[in-house]
């Protein structure tokens, strides 16, 4: 008999998500494909709600048949959806509906919007989202580069951020990312011995371009969160130097073997930049909003 319930064992859940997310026909973007990294994300960088109230699973004879996660932003009342993951395609709708209704009923507020990022070959989930009222809003490409394909260039005119650049950095970040998950103050608060802000500067105060990178607490994964070059200084190779500097730093960690990033499919400039330094296409995701 199928049971819909909140999970207790994060290890079993992470292993189930790894198993399915490695396969294009089940893949959900930004969830991860390694159980340990999925678990670390859930524990340290996921929903505003606790683990048990952010996930639901479907089990039969104690075996997980499905899972659904809500990455909840309580302040904005928005949710990024992990799933639905359903192992048996012939039972997809029954299991997906059971998990969806269970998890939605637990939300402590009326949700303004749900967002989904689904592999283009995950046809069952894409159809399910459309039936639920989800509207396609764009395509995201996941690019990756592995350490052995990075040349570690050294002749780079990039420096680390210092407080004298705060006003210029704030202006550039605000102009480049007006509606985003970290504003300039958030980024500056997050700087530490692992999270770094690298800049291409003119003098002691002006920022021509910057790249912000983060290292996860486990030090097994690093990410390029933001990169921007001021419009008046584009087409001067600054973006290439920023990306190369970020990769030099991220790959200096022995435990980091691959870097992935996301770019909108229509962003031709960014795609050309990333590919010029060795990034290759890994996944194509369809974004939906409900």
Identify the CATH number of the domain in which residue 168 sits: 3.40.630.30
Which pLDDT belongs to residue 204? Answer: 85
Q: Is 140 contained in some domain?
A: no
Residue 90 within any structural domain of the chain: yes
Number of domains in the chain: 2
Share of the chain above pLDDT 90, in %: 76
One domain, residues 124 and 172:
no
Does a structural domain hold residue 138?
A: no
pLDDT band at 218 (very low <50, low <70, confident <90, very high): low
Q: CB of 40 within 8 A of CB of 31?
A: no
Beta bridge partners of 224: 213
Residues spanned by the domain of 277:
145-283
The distance from CA 236 to its chain's CA centroid, rounded to whole angstroms, is 29
- CB within 8 A of 63, min separation 6: which ones? none
> Which of 91, 110, 133 lies at the terminal end of a domain, its last residue?
133
Question: Is 15 within a domain?
Answer: yes
Q: Which residue has the tokens 């087409």?
A: 235
- 179 pLDDT above the threshold of 90: no
- Does 278 lie in the same domain as 161? yes
Residue 223's pLDDT band, with cuts at 50, 70 and 90, is confident
């Amino acid at each position: 008999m199928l049971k819909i319930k909140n999970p207790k064992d994060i290890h079993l859940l992470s292993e189930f998500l790894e198993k399915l997310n490695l396969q294009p026909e089940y893949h959900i973007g930004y969830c991860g494909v390694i159980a340990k990294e999925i678990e670390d994300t859930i524990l340290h960088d996921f929903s505003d709600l606790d683990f048990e109230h952010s996930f639901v699973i479907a089990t039969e004879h104690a075996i997980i048949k499905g899972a659904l996660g809500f990455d909840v932003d309580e302040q904005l009342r928005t949710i990024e959806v992990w799933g639905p993951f359903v192992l048996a395609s012939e039972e997809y709708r029954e299991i997906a509906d059971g998990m969806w209704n269970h998890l939605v009923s637990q939300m402590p507020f009326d949700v303004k919007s749900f967002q989904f990022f689904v592999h283009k070959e995950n046809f069952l989930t894409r159809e399910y989202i459309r039936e639920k009222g989800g509207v396609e809003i764009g395509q995201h490409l996941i690019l990756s580069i592995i350490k052995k394909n990075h040349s570690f260039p050294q002749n780079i005119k990039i420096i680390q951020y210092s407080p004298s650049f705060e006003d210029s950095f704030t202006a550039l970040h605000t102009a480049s990312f007006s509606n985003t998950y970290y504003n300039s103050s958030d980024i500056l608060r997050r700087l530490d011995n692992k999270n770094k802000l690298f800049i291409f500067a003119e003098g002691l105060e002006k920022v021509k371009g910057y790249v912000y990178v983060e290292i996860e607490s486990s030090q097994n994964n690093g990410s390029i969160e933001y990169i921007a070059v001021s419009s008046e200084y584009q087409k001067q190779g600054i973006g290439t130097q920023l990306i190369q500097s970020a990769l030099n730093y991220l790959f200096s960690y022995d435990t980091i073997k691959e870097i992935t990033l996301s770019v909108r499919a229509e962003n031709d400039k960014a795609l050309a930049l990333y590919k010029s330094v060795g990034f290759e296409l890994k996944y194509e995701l369809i974004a939906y909003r409900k």
